[in-house]
Amino acid sequence: MTISGKTRICGIIGDPIEHSLSPIMHNAAFEASGLDYTYLAFKVKPAGIANAVEGMRALNIRGLNVTMPHKNTVMANLDRIDLSAQIINSVNTILNKENLLLGFNTDGIGAVKALKENGAELKGRKVLLLGSGGAARAIAHSVVKEADELAVLNRTVKHAQALAKLLERSVNKKIAVGSLSPSDIQQNLQDSDILINATSIGMKPHPDISPIPPKLLRSNLSVMDIVYNPLETKLSKDAKNAGAKIISGVEMLIYQGAVAFEIWTGKTAPVEIMRQTIFSHLQRKAQGN
């Protein structure tokens, strides 16, 4: 890749940001597409979010991804926000269109694409979603449009209830809610077709825990854990042992990134290149290389 005076800049803002896989993925996608773009990671403290966004405008940065803890607070600094991002109160992608900063959220679309492209259809199905944070809200908003039923379980039940009320205003469906207690998990999982873990349970440095007891997992279940560090979580391992269909959290990362790529460039994202790049990187990292 050759950087010139014509190179367009994209990037990601967050804190921490050093762990982000987005630069690896997007730079591979730009190169494969023959685009004169480059992608950088910017560590931005919460107090600096307004300055960072104005810097995007001043420096004519084409696009930014937004990660924790800025997905909500960044919204006050944008010119326009897509309706779905408004509803879930979370932006993870910004487009600089002729000095107008437009906000989007690609997490939910990415999750749905990851499910469908890996053989987990939503139509006629019940989905059990664990968590009610930013990523969970985005996933729920996209999933509930296509699935027949949705249940949301969260450690703090009132947060799950708030998410259910939000969703019920936009779709004519009743959303079940509950806690992450063993009884609520067992009751809701027994007739679910798809399980999505959108909590941080199982993420490093605690990769040996899972939100679901192994005995509750079964072969006619599709399981997506959006945690991808480690690459194979305990939930994923347990689900595989039960014969369930597994959708890696990396798939959601890839597809949400592909949607952002297309927003910035207007070109079709090279999804397979993005997938190969990410999985190769993670496999080398897991092997200590």
- Residue 95 and residue 20 share a domain: yes
- Residue 207 and residue 131 share a domain: yes
Give a yes or no: residue 279 inside a domain.
no
pTM: 0.92
Q: In this structure, how many other beta carbons lie within 10 angstroms of the beta carbon of residue 286?
A: 12
Residue 289 has pLDDT above 70, yes or no: no
Residue 71 among the catalytic residues: yes
Distance from C-alpha of 27 to C-alpha of 264, rounded to nearest angstrom = 13
Residues 139-188: tens digit of each pLDDT: 999 999 999 999 999 999 999 999 999 999 888 888 999 999 999 999 99
| Of the residues 88, 105, 122, the one at which a domain ends | 105
3-state helix, strand and coil shares in percent for the chain, rounded to the nearest 5? 40, 20, 40
- Residue 179 and residue 55 share a domain: no
User: What's the distance, CA 133 to chain centroid?
Assistant: 11
* Least confident stretch, 4-13, 155-164, 169-178, 247-256: 169-178
Residue 1 has pLDDT above 80, yes or no: no
Residues 233-244: tens digit of each pLDDT: 999 999 999 999
Distance from C-alpha of 80 to C-alpha of 57, rounded to nearest angstrom = 14
- Residue 243 and residue 116 share a domain: yes
CATH number at residue 67: 3.40.50.10860
- Residue 139 and residue 78 share a domain: no
Give a yes or no: residue 264 inside a domain.
no
pLDDT number for residue 228 = 86
Domain that holds residue 186: 108-250
pLDDT number for residue 286 = 75
- Residue 169 and residue 47 share a domain: no
Q: Which of 6, 71, 173, 245 is catalytic?
A: 71
Residues 62-92: tens digit of each pLDDT: 999 999 899 999 999 999 999 999 999 999 9
Q: What percent of the chain has pLDDT over 90?
A: 90
Chain mean pLDDT for the chain:
95
- Residue 211 and residue 142 share a domain: yes
Give a yes or no: residue 286 inside a domain.
no
Number of domains in the chain: 2
Give a yes or no: residue 277 inside a domain.
no
